[in-house]
Each structure stands twice: as structure tokens, then as C-alpha cells.
Copies of this chain bind each other. A is one copy, B any other.
Amino acid sequence: MRIIIDMDDVLADASSKILSIFNQINDTNIEPSFFDDKSFYDYVNSPKFKPFINYIYEPGFFSDLKVFPNAQDVVKELSEKHEVYIVSAATEFPNSLKEKYDWMKTHFPFISWRNFVLCGDKSIVSGDIMIDDHEKNLKNFNGEKILFDAQHNKLVKGYLRLNNWIEIHNYFF
């Protein structure tokens, strides 16, 4: 079975860093739970706030993202039984390419370069299961779809939602 796993907000906690940058530049103190019942992007991209998006294009943004708890152990276990590919939408952010490669090599050294994909539109990849935090990636996928819970996707409906890597472990084993 081929399992396609996303990187940002599935393995790497990009959301916390984005919210922290947003709070800093806007002098706000919004907690992640604030977005439990509203659209993250609609809210933070409203004209009353300074935009955070440019910070994502800066060198170094992706280098120090934290790994989600248990992600390493569960991905290792999955990769021992299945064909695991890490597929990241990265070509929008050219500086991220090498940073993402280095991040994977540091935190997931057991994933071969053969199984690592940096792309734009994910409709190009095929597999049996996709784990992703973005509906735009899941909706065109031809296999089973798992929505990984994130602060920006709380309002997305219609997918199996798993909240953390323990739940992913329990789903597969």
C-alpha cells in the first residue's frame, strides 16, 4: 500500500509558527483555539491585519519547524510495512526546497530521498491513501483521504479527520 504523507501541518508544525509571526507583527495574542469555529485564512487575511504571507517566503522559515508529537515513531512504523512517500507542496516557496530536504533528513532520516517529493499541484501524485491538511490536495486524489486536523481546516467537512499521530497509528494498526 502506498501512503502519501504531507509535510507542513502534518509532520511539521507550521501553523504555530505562522500564528506566532502573525501575533508578533500585529501585536495581537490570538490562541490557536480561537479558530475552532472560524476560518483561519479569512480571519488573518482580513485587511485590518498586516499580512504574514511574505514571512513564509523568507529563507529559514521552514528550517526550524517543530515535529508533531509521535510523528517520527508512527511514520517509521508505517514505512516498515508500507510504501511511504512524503509529498510537500514546496515549489511555490523556492527557498523552502533545500530547507525541507534538510528538515526531513534531520527528523526523518529513515525516509529515503527516493520517497521524497517536492511539488506544486499534488494532483500529479498517485497512491492508495493521502494524509493532508488541505482539502485542495485531498479533493483531486484518487485514493482514500485523511484530513489531518489543523487550525486552518476546522470548518472543512466531508473527510475522515484524524487529530494527531496517535490517532493515525490507531487507524493503521
Q: Name A residues whose Cβ lies closer than 8 Å to a Cβ of B.
A: 2, 4, 85, 87, 90-92, 94-95, 97-98, 101-102, 112-121, 124-127
Contacts and interface: CB of A to CB of B under 8 A. Distances in A.
Contact of A124 (B90, B101, B117): B117
Given A117-B119, A118-B118, 13 more contacts: A2-B124, A85-B124, A91-B101, A92-B113, A94-B113, A112-B120, A114-B121, A115-B121, A116-B120, A117-B118, A124-B126, A124-B127, A125-B126
Contacts of A114: 91-92, 120-121
30 contacts: A4-B124, A85-B124, A87-B124, A91-B113, A91-B114, A91-B116, A91-B118, A92-B114, A94-B98, A94-B101, A94-B102, A94-B113, A97-B97, A97-B98, A98-B98, A112-B120, A114-B121, A115-B121, A116-B119, A116-B120, A117-B117, A117-B118, A117-B124, A118-B118, A119-B119, A124-B125, A124-B127, A125-B125, A125-B126, A126-B126
Contacts of A127: 124
Copies in the complex: 2
Contacts of A116: 91, 119-120
Contacts of A95: 98
A115 B101 CA distance: 19
A120 B113 contact: yes
A118 B116 CA distance: 8
A91 B95 CA distance: 15
A132 to B, nearest CB: 15
A114 B2 CA distance: 23
Contacts of A126: 124-126
